[in-house]
Chain A
């Protein structure tokens, strides 16, 4: 009988400790960051922008993973561009981000093959990558963007003009 009480006491104590941990466990920070997403305007030289919120690190999400997630989110936003009623230089229809990875201050953005369907002029190609690079290098810790297409580095897009096999930086524009 005494032993049963002891076992019950231990169980109640364990349950109390578990409940206390549940209520007082570390919570994710409520503060939120903000990400500026850039796009090239149709004047060919200036950039428009909009902001989206960046989630704070989730429980168990380390700094490196959070930076990766932020970079991926930024890349997807920039490639999607603003809503279609906003006049903007856009990646070719269907272009989307396959993946993003961060190594040091360089983020590698892997784009789908639709990106190769350029219209032929410098105007679109220049604006597309300028908006993407400005967006990603707005993330502290990132200062260059390496473009790959379906996992492969490309020296230039077919019929293109930009040098893409080295990382792009804001200073390129």
Chain B
């Protein structure tokens, strides 16, 4: 009885709320969109305009047709739609403001909930997607609009880029020495009619619309100086791009990297279709930097003011294994990681902390093998443990700091491999916010202290075989890697590796290959992890001096080019830098330098390791080099030279080389 009464009261409130908001139910509505007819069924009305529910199958199908995706979960406020351009359109339940990319606008009404379904303002949503709802006689239609036309570049080369509410398929109408005309069927436009330019030979662009409201055509007339060459239109994610070259120079290729930072001369810079009069479109000032509200979690201090202190690190045997206690005074955040079995190593970083005592490096008894304590950077103390065998680890804050319970011979296959927590009252500690990964200094990674800071287990890596180099031809077998035409990365990588192997052996090195034929190293169709770990195991188990993984790069377009040396650990840096120098001298590819990344094989190998991306299969000039056996021989000769130089400059202590 009570529940029934409460239900009636609740229903009454919902009804009153809907009436107060001017929301009323609506029936179905059909629209013509391109060649499809779409019937929306989850409709309502608010503020005199249509509202559409995001669970409406027709809306979901329509978004799919336009290449848009929608992100929302029950209980969330934001409804986020990513258009094909891409632009993120952000609606918020109960808030009339919505954002389209960097443009903020006010909707005709605030999105609202009916049950668990969010209803969005139909017209505002469509216009955000560069779609105009029109009525032509008795027929409703959703007509894609030309959203923007930009000319990017300056000087002799430029690219015309156009966006619309659907994929642009231009039809060439005429092509003459001083202008070209394209017709965009089914696309409407209310962009300005004409704009002058001076880039890539382009003089002006005229935009005119013809046809009916339901079946418009937009005509683009691009006038240019005599002698200007232009490419045929091509598409990237549904837009239209045409390259222009002045004075007979070649037009640039699709998405050429040269235009990444070039000035833009925009007719309408990626803005939504003209906002209706009742909308208040705000531009730049809205996005000027402003302090976050004091009450916002964004403004909370992220770290304690004074650093914590890490004192004694003690090991106490227990019946099942041992307990490692880390004394911490003050507030600090910690995070821990362990490597995957059978690599029995673990470390914990206490952040925002100073090491109060001396650094420690001690051998321990079973189940521990060693305990090491270091200040690895001005704000972080690392305690690294290695275990005698498989061991479980349980980390928890204690009254005096952090307690680590180590259990002997436990099955850890499914155990967590990382975690975090805090001692004191600190919630989190932010890392320094660096925009661009800094290039490490010349001596980065060369000092024993740096190596100790990164690696754990042995204080500094000493190869058991200082004349052994492990070469890893990337991919192979069931994993072809990147493929272009008849060239596969798996085959090219193996060719590079065999050539390098021959040179190194001739120079007196021992070489072990992770594969010598076109096979998977672990097993056919294995997981990426098993495959990568198998390659790491070859090097670690052999106690090799150096590890080199050879790959070919690739991208979705032909823009990126060059040779890159990837690394992960500080100990890799001198080796990576030497190889980069050796290869940069006479390869003829762009030197993309050394790049740090969390690549599995360079991260988990014990010795200095690099992954060389020799050149881009996706770039025609790079591909021509990759296809040339002489160039491949030159590259591996440079790599061998780099190895020799590195070995001379970084001798293994105590080893007979």
List residues of A whose CB falls within 8 A of some B CB: 29, 31-34, 38, 41-59, 61, 63-67, 69-70, 72-73, 76-77, 79-81, 83-90, 92-94, 96-99, 104-106, 112, 119-124, 126, 130, 134, 137-144, 154-163, 165-173
Choose from B297, B417, B559, B562 the contact partner of A165 (Cβ within 8 Å): B417
Chain B stretch 545-566: residues in CB contact (< 8 A) with chain A:
551-556, 559-560, 562, 564, 566
Question: Is the Cβ of B601 less than 8 Å from the Cβ of A161?
Answer: yes
Query: With A52-B287, A140-B302, A170-B431 in contact, do A29 and B482 touch (Cβ < 8 Å)?
Result: no
Q: Which 3 A/B pairs are nearest by Cβ-Cβ distance?
A: A120-B482, A155-B529, A121-B553
- Give bound CA distance, A169 to B287, whole Å: 27
**Contact B297–A83 (Cβ < 8 Å):** no
Interchain CB contact (< 8 A) of A156 among B264, B430, B529: B529
CB distance from A37 to the nearest CB of B (A): 9
The reply to whether B598 and A172 form a contact with Cβ atoms under 8 Å apart is yes
User: Across the interface, which residues of B come within 8 angstroms of A64, CB to CB?
Assistant: 297
> Knowing that A80-B82, A140-B430, A163-B600 are A-B contacts, what are 13 other residue pairs whose CB atoms are under 8 Å apart, sorted by A's residue number?
A45-B592, A53-B286, A54-B298, A57-B295, A80-B87, A85-B159, A87-B257, A120-B475, A120-B489, A121-B553, A124-B556, A156-B532, A163-B604
Known A51-B287, A55-B92, A170-B433; contact A123-B481, beta-carbon cutoff 8 A:
no
Contact yes or no, A141 B428, CB < 8 A:
yes
* Interface range, B side: 35 or more
On whether the beta carbons of B555 and A121 are closer than 8 Å, the reply is yes
Q: Is the CB of A97 within 8 A of B71?
A: yes
In the complex, the answer to whether A42 meets B433 with C-beta atoms within 8 Å is: no
Minimal Cβ-Cβ distance residue in A for B559: A42
Asked if B527 is at the interface of the complex by the 8 Å CB criterion, the answer is: yes
9 residue pairs from A and B, CB less than 8 Å apart: A52-B101, A72-B76, A96-B82, A99-B71, A105-B427, A137-B430, A141-B300, A141-B430, A161-B532
Nearest to B93 among chain A residues (CB) is A58
Given A31-B290, A31-B291, A122-B566, are A44 and B560 also a contact pair (CB < 8 Å)?
Answer: yes
Bound CA span A64–B427, Å: 13
Q: How far apart are the CA atoms of A171 and B551 in the complex, in Å?
A: 24
Residues of A within 8 A of B553 (CB): 121-123
A135 → chain B, closest Cβ, in Å? 11
Q: Are B296 and A57 in contact (CB under 8 A)?
A: yes
Instruction: Determine which residue in B88, B552, B593 has the highest number of CB atoms from chain A within 10 A of its CB, and name it.
Output: B88
Q: Determine the distance from Cα of A167 to Cα of B349 in the docked complex, in whole angstroms.
A: 14
* Cβ-defined contact, A67 with B597, below 8 A: no
Instruction: Specify which of B76, B159, B293, B616 is in contact with A33 (CB 8 Å cutoff).
Output: B293
Q: A32-B290, A120-B554, A140-B297 are in contact. Are A126 and B597 (CB under 8 A)?
A: yes
Q: Does B634 sit within 8 A of A, measured CB to CB? A: no
A134 cross-chain contacts in B, Cβ below 8 A: 435
Please, which residues of chain A bring their CB within 8 A of the CB of B601? 161
Within 8 Å by CB of B551, from A33, A121, A137, A144, lies A121
A42-B300 CB under 8 A given contacts A121-B554, A162-B597: no
Q: What separation, in Å, do the CA atoms of A51 and B460 have in the docked complex?
A: 44
Q: Does any Cβ of A come within 8 Å of B80's Cβ? A: yes
Chain B residues contacting A65 (CB-CB under 8 Å) are 77
Residues of chain B contacted by A165 (CB below 8 angstroms): 417, 529
- Residue in B287, B554, B593, B598 whose beta carbon sits within 8 Å of that of A124 in the complex: B554
Q: Which of B235-256 contact A (CB under 8 A)?
A: 236-239, 241, 255-256
List the A residue with the shortest CB-CB distance to B82: A80
- B276 — which chain A residues lie within 8 A by C-beta? none
* B550 smallest CB distance to A (angstroms): 12
Cα distance A106–B80 in the bound complex, in angstroms = 21
Residue of A whose beta carbon sits closest to that of B237: A84
Within 8 Å by CB of B95, from A47, A55, A120, lies A55
In the complex, A166 Cα to B347 Cα: how many Å? 14
Q: Find the A residue at minimum CB distance from B615.
A: A121
Query: Could you give, for residues 75-110 of chain B, a 1 whenever the CB lies within 8 Å of some chain A CB and a 0 otherwise?
Result: 011101010011110101011010101101000000
| B266 closest partner in A (C-beta) | A85
Which of chain A's residues have a CB closer than 8 A to the CB of B428? 104-105, 141-143
Cβ–Cβ < 8 Å partners of A140 in chain B: 297-300, 302, 430
Check B114 for interface membership: any CB of A closer than 8 A: no
Nearest A residue to B429 by beta-carbon distance? A143
Contact of B616 among A31, A45, A79, A123 (CB under 8 A): A123
Complex Cα distance, B295 from A83, in Å, reads: 33
Q: Which of B87, B99, B555 contacts A83 (CB 8 A)?
A: B87
CA distance A49 to B435 in the complex (A): 9
Bound-complex Cα distance A166 to B418 (A): 7
Q: Is the CB of B101 within 8 A of A58?
A: no
- Chain A residues near B102 (CB-CB < 8 A): 50-52
Would you call B286 and A166 a contact (CB within 8 A)? no
> Given A170-B431, A173-B596, are A141 and B297 also a contact pair (CB < 8 Å)?
yes
- Distance (Å) between the CB of A32 and the closest chain B CB? 6
A84 to chain B, nearest CB (A): 5
Q: Would A43 and B592 count as touching, CB distance under 8 A? A: yes
Are A83 and B270 also in contact (CB < 8 A) when A41-B260, A104-B427 are? yes
Chain A residue contacts of B87, Cβ below 8 A: 80, 83
In the assembly, what is the distance between CA of A172 and CA of B527, in Å? 23
Query: Given the complex of chains A and B, what is the CA–CA distance between A105 and B69 in angstroms?
Result: 28
On chain B, the residues within 8 Å of A124 by CB distance are 554-556
Chain A residues near B76 (CB-CB < 8 A): 69, 72
A residues within 8 A CB of B552? 120-121
Contacts of A84 in B (CB 8 A): 85-86, 161, 163, 236-239
Query: B residues within 8 A CB of A169?
Result: 431
Given contacts A54-B298, A72-B76, A163-B598, contact A85 B436 (CB under 8 A): no
Whether B481 and A85, one on each chain, are in contact in the complex, defined by CB atoms closer than 8 angstroms, is no
